[in-house]
Chain A
Amino acid sequence: MSTVGTKFDSAEDLRQYRAHLLAQYDPAARRVRVCLGTGCTAKGSAKVMERFCRAAEEFGQESLVVQAKSTGCHGFCERGPIVVVDPGNVFYENVNEEDVPEIWRESVIGGRVVERLLYKDEASGETATTPKEIPFYSAQQRIVLAHNGVIDPTSIEEYVAGGGYAALAKVLGSKASRMEPEEVIEEVARSGLRGRGGGGFLTGRKWRSARDAHGQPKYTIANGDEGDPGAFMDRSLMEGDPHAVLEGMIIGAYAIGSSRGYVYVRNEYPMAVKHLTMAINAAREFGLLGQNILGSGFSFDVRINRGAGAFVCGESTALMASLEGRVGEPRAKYIHTVESGLDGKPSLLNNVETWANVPPIILNGADWFASFGTEKSKGTKVFSLVGKVKNTGLVEVPMGMTLRQIIFDIGGGIPDGKAFKAVQTGGPSGGCIPAECLDEPVDFDRLAELGSMMGSGGMIVMDEDTCMVHVARYFVAFLKDESCGKCTPCREGIAQMLDILTRITKGEGREGDIDTLETLGTLLEDTALCALGKTAAYPVLSTLRCFRDEYQTHIREKRCPAKECPGLFQYQIDVDLCTGCGVCRKKCPVQAITGERKKPHTIDWKTCTGCGTCFDVCPFSAVVKV
């Protein structure tokens, strides 16, 4: 499809263009959708796509329209490469290059299902043909991710055909039906939408402050820095539905009277940059960005800035410093960035997922949106459900769903018959929630009451083999590296905490360490300048609250109950299971293992450094932790 020569001068032009696209759409055409998201690409989906494209090109039958197209992430990357065949929405997983001819012949052309590539329920052995029948998808409510995996993110036509930019057209419609900026803000405010970037600040209220702020130009910024390790929903959105983010931003910019926008994208996300760039160019060509958008007199344009690898730049004031070309150090927020942000001008910053919620709210109305979720947390939230859980991936659920539903119904529970231990939410500053709280509903306020937070939506599941001290240490080490160093409590306090935690995990913990950790935690909360420092101790404090015993066992008995901290447990060879194959002996980096061929081997505890290589390599699981 060519985009040349399509420039809309009014909302009506856009409507007509959409009608034209839909009239062209042949519902009987055979389509194969190949996921080219980052996850599936890593597993070789580009080659799968190539083969399908070739098959489509070589296909000679005039009577049948065939098409192979690429989509963004479906969220079930673990099962990738994902291929879906239409009509029928037939969902294939783990598709290899070699599977292409069969899918093409049987499913695309023949209309028959290729049984062996369907999702299969582990317990019942039953197969699922469409996503609706797969537990991972059936309980989801996809509003923000509605287009992901369905449309080709590099095609503005597909976005428009699927109802894209209709919200913008509603806002900037003909003179008679145009929404006033105030009305737009009112709609967003009434929807109850809260920021998806972490704080959960009411979006409508933020927009109102930005509208009321004095100074020009005003800036509209999308935060796509997504620094929380374990979260990748913003990436998936920017890659899989970039126009939705742009459309939200254009509407927001109109509402506050802003003419310039930025998308700040994480450095590690090259595909997001590529797709956003294509989206911005296409939107400009269509007259949806730039001067006099849809003939309304409103002008707005967007540029992309790439982050440069600093977690703290996700923080609003640091992000703006970075956009100004400076080091990303936060400043005290006596004056809010909506009043004085980028270049000292009023600046409206929202998270990528927040922006993507705006078009559906405008299109379907505040009441519709507010019908999802809980009293104070409306709509849905995308979580990245990862870690020690069977089905990992991105899931979008209504706010208020319980942790158990998310982790067990959608996630399928814990693999390998292990027990659930905790789930970590909220990124490095979040907290661990123990098994007792599995039936708690997930929303902004409840998570905070549980001593954790929503954060950007990372949900990292941990099983009985995970040591909570070790995990807490991981987060503190992360934050120590990422502290910008501007203020002393954060710079020195986190380093102190890390020292103590490192000692504890090495079996050198002392009485009083726990008290010191708690004192430092409170100190940070009270005195650090930005939220990075203020919340840096949360992973420690929350694990101390729920898993204090585990800390104490490390300190008093020099033992790691989860058998994870090297040196605080021992590896042993089970003589009944060992076949004397000698793999461990060869692999041990310190030659701590001895034994004759075909006879049970032994580990010399004095030489062993506890690196765990033998445990990993033994083909007979004869190495055990004691």
Chain B
Amino acid sequence: MTDTNEGTVATIIERYQGDSGMLIPMMQDIQTECGYLPQAELKELSSGLAVPLADVYSVATFYSSFRLMPKGDHTIQLCMGTVCFLKGAGKISEAIQREFQLVPGETSPDGKFTFSPVNCVGACALAPVMVVDGQYHGGLTVDSAVELLDKIAEGDKSTEDAQAGGGKKK
């Protein structure tokens, strides 16, 4: 992984003219490139900007969107906002954690899914909502959420159809 990312950090630092105030955007760019924040890249960033590695890590661990471990094939953001909560997101969370061996903030043992419960994705009118690989799925039930992930796990591309009808009822 690191080999293919050769030069990434240097390019990113240059993109922001080496301004250490832009540390967070730089780390976001690294995460976009690498899928997470690899140790080697963070070290390079730290020395490139002359920001202590401890500071880089404190930023990396403070903000919940940063990942220090590689992500799975698919990322699941389950909305835990107030409305989703009122409409049963808690149960969905329990069910998919059970079914797919997910742990909040981590990647499943089979490397399929990275699971992140998030505060609110701002699509409250569709609650409960889950965002999988950037696609919003609304009006979920425990069963439809499990079904959706099952399909994705099987690599079934028909998920897009499921999603088109997903929010219609309720």
Contacts and interface: CB of A to CB of B under 8 A. Distances in A.
Interface of A: 38-39, 41-44, 47, 76-78, 80, 94, 96-97, 226-232, 235, 266-270, 305-311, 322-328, 343, 384, 386-388, 392-393, 424, 458, 460, 462, 466, 471, 474-475, 478, 482, 484, 589, 611-613, 616-617
B64 A42 contact: no
B134 A270 contact: yes
A307 B55 CA distance: 17
A77 B125 contact: yes
Contact of B122 (A47, A232, A308, A387): A232
Contact of A308 (B28, B80, B98, B126): B28
Contact of B21 (A38, A39, A78, A343): A343
Contact of B164 (A97, A311, A471): A97
Q: Which of B51, B88, B124 has the most CB of A within 10 A?
A: B124
A388 B94 CA distance: 22
B167 interface: yes
Given A44-B164, A460-B86, A267 B126 contact: no
Interface residues of B, number: 53
B83 A230 contact: yes
29 contacts: A38-B136, A42-B136, A42-B163, A42-B166, A43-B167, A77-B125, A228-B120, A229-B85, A232-B124, A269-B122, A305-B25, A308-B66, A309-B66, A310-B63, A324-B21, A325-B59, A326-B59, A328-B62, A328-B63, A343-B21, A386-B83, A392-B124, A460-B82, A460-B83, A475-B82, A589-B98, A616-B88, A616-B91, A617-B143
Interface string B134-170: 1111100111000000000000000000011111100
Nearest to A236: B122
B136 A305 contact: no
B86 A309 contact: no
Contact of A230 (B82, B137, B167, B168): B82
A39 B94 CA distance: 25
B125 A268 contact: no
Nearest to A343: B21
Interface of B: 20-25, 27-28, 51, 55, 58-59, 62-66, 77, 80-83, 85-86, 88, 91, 94, 98, 118-127, 129, 134-138, 141-143, 163-168
A308 B137 CA distance: 22
Contacts of A38: 122-123, 136
Given A42-B136, A42-B163, A306 B25 contact: yes
Contacts of A76: 125
B20 A387 contact: no
Nearest to B90: A474
A268 B77 contact: yes
Contacts of B142: 613, 616
Interface centre among B91, B136, B138, B164 (most CB of A within 10 A): B164
A566 to B, nearest CB: 10
Given A268-B120, A387-B82, A617-B143, 5 more contacts: A38-B136, A39-B167, A322-B24, A392-B124, A616-B91
A160 B158 CA distance: 41
A94 B168 contact: yes
A392 B125 contact: yes
B67 to A, nearest CB: 11
A29 to B, nearest CB: 29
A344 to B, nearest CB: 12
A309 B82 contact: no
A77 B123 contact: yes
Contact of A77 (B94, B121, B126): B126
Contacts of B138: 39, 42-43
Nearest to B56: A325
Nearest to A329: B62
B143 A41 contact: no
A268 B119 CA distance: 9
A482 B55 CA distance: 20
Given A230-B124, A268-B122, A305 B164 contact: no
A309 to B, nearest CB: 4
Contacts of A306: 24-25, 28
Q: Which of A76, A327, A328 gathers most chain B CB within 10 Å?
A: A327
A262 to B, nearest CB: 11
Contacts of B28: 306, 308
Contact of A309 (B118, B129, B136): B118
B141 A616 contact: yes
Contacts of A39: 123, 125-126, 138, 167
A386 B163 CA distance: 22
